[in-house]
Structure 1
């Protein structure tokens, strides 16, 4: 008489596969939606955390299924392995983000000039929802930045303002920074061609007035005071733009300042994450990438 052995079935293993598939599908859909601008970052983070929770459950049930396979040869080993594979992508992203969260200081705004940071021409007013953060950057944040990124400094170039501005704009485009607002750009344009003609016309008008009124004193308007710039110094050129990371599509705001000093041009950049109290070190990476590309573009005229 033949004895047939019926292998038990590990329901935990098959549940692990289903949970892993769901977590992976949710992760991919959320990632694509956020990358192409169909979802804002607070919702993206919340749904990614939800997919991570399902992935963690998938890992737990997969461990139970594999243990049952080892102990009583229960069916479901393949399903448990599939559950592990499906759960890996969201858990991997969560692990990398957690590592950067602990490794870098909890700041969201970095600047190459920690004393006088380039100002925002249009401050961000987006709703942070549950990703709350301080409204202003304090001195303690700048101190934390200096400790974490001591090599992040501005650049000084032995070149004219107009030449450096052209390179700054070109590199911004190469680094996927979309410029949305500028101030003081007219300082980089040579607009003195009209001065001789304007001066001749003014002299002709003065002579006509003098001949007509027989040198009668004519009251002249009081010279108007020049308006002070809203941001920075009068010689500053300011650019503000926005940038998105290549894979995740996380949004950052960027402010670039050009300042002419003693026949040199000083360039500073400021990067701030659009959402959340922690940029996970991405702001410094974006700033360093931009400055290195700018150094390459202006190779040969970089100062100390």
Structure 2
């Protein structure tokens, strides 16, 4: 009786290492994000995240090499390579979103509902302390015009409510959004306008946007203008627009109650 020997094709080493490296880069990315959260936010502080994404790209490359080897030589390990490829694509999705925003949105880091007379940020001690001494600089008129072209829906909030009631609505909206209120003053005084200074912090990387809200009385009600400025970088990736849109949506929701 003769025994029949069955020879199995070897498992692709590229597939094995692509899976290992994909999970390793996932762990490194999570740790790097945690490190960024624990430190003071800065562009330089994103270096560990960039390094982690280089590992993700290397794992992706190995997975593609594994597919090529499996196709050419009939090696096993297609499941490992597919799993590594899927994990890498998931990890690269946020980076792809950042790249998309950089390519499709203008380089703006200060957005205002009033581009002709943007609300000014407070220079009080409390406001300066909350903003770590930073005063968002004035934005050139051409940048404001660029904002209007890129974000035409960012506009003043006009209410039929009197300014004092609009101020209360604005405070409630800021609180509901989880923004830190630095200081506020009700409408009245010499200018007749009310003001709310706030800070909004990102959930993942804790990057901050400084926000000032101006409430002006009108003959037929009131007008609310919002200005949001990023502390870091010259491109906000649409963050300030999202803050203003979220505030406007919250005010509308409160008006319906």
Correspondence list, 1:182-261, <5 A: 182=184, 184-185=185-186, 187=188, 234-261=191-218
Aligned to 1:196: none
Map of 1:62 onto structure 2? 63
Match of 2:85 in 1: 84
CA distance in 1 between counterparts of 2:90 and 2:6 reads 41
Larger Rg: 1
C-alpha displacement of 1:257? 0.6
Q: What's the TM-score, normalizing by structure 2?
A: 0.84
Give 3-state SS (helix, strand or coil) of 1:141's partner. helix
Q: Which runs of 5+ in 1 are unaligned?
A: 128-133, 189-232
Structure 2 portions without partners, runs of 5+: none
Q: 1:259 is paired with a residue of what secondary structure?
A: strand
Cα distance in structure 2, aligned partners of 1:63 and 1:14: 12
C-alpha distance in structure 2 between counterparts of 1:62 and 1:286, whole Å: 39
CA–CA distance in structure 1, aligned partners of residues 87 and 187 of structure 2:
55
The equivalent residue for 2:110 is: 109
Task: State the secondary structure of the residue aligned to 2:43.
Answer: helix
Pairing partner for 2:182 from 180, 183, 202:
180
For residues 28 and 120 of structure 1, the distance between their equivalents in structure 2, rounded to whole angstroms, comes to 35
Deviations 1:202-239 (A, max 9, x none): xxxxxxxxxxxxxxxxxxxxxxxxxxxxxxx6222221
1:24 aligned residue (23, 26, 34): 26
Which residue does the alignment assign to 1:264? 221
SS of 1:298's equivalent in the other structure is helix
- What does the per-residue CA deviation read over 1:250-290, in whole Å, with 9 as the maximum and x for residues that have no partner? 32111101112335321100111221111111211220121
What is the alpha-carbon distance in structure 1 between the residues aligned to residue 162 and residue 8 of structure 2?
Answer: 84
- Note the aligned Cα RMSD (angstroms): 2.7
Q: How many residues align?
A: 248
8 Å CA contact 1:167–1:294 kept in 2: the answer is yes
CA distance in structure 1 between the aligned counterparts of 2:231 and 2:20, rounded to whole angstroms: 35
Q: Is the 8 A contact 1:254 1:271 kept in 2?
A: yes
C-alpha contact 1:62 1:83 (8 A) present in aligned 2? yes
Deviations 1:80-135 (A, max 9, x none): 233223322331111111111212111011000001111111464579xxxxxx95
Kept in 1: contact 2:187–2:195 (CA 8 A): no
Matched, 1:100 2:117: no
TM-score after normalising by structure 1 = 0.72
Helix, strand or coil at the partner of 1:169: helix
| Counterpart position of 2:50 | 49
Higher RCO by CA contacts (8 Å cutoff, separation 6 or greater)? 1
Structure 1 residue 177: deviation in Å?
1.5
Rounded Cα–Cα distance in structure 2 between residues aligned with 1:187 and 1:103? 42
Alpha-carbon shift at residue 294 of structure 1 (Å): 1.0
Determine the C-alpha separation between the residues in 2 that align with 1:38 and 1:175.
24
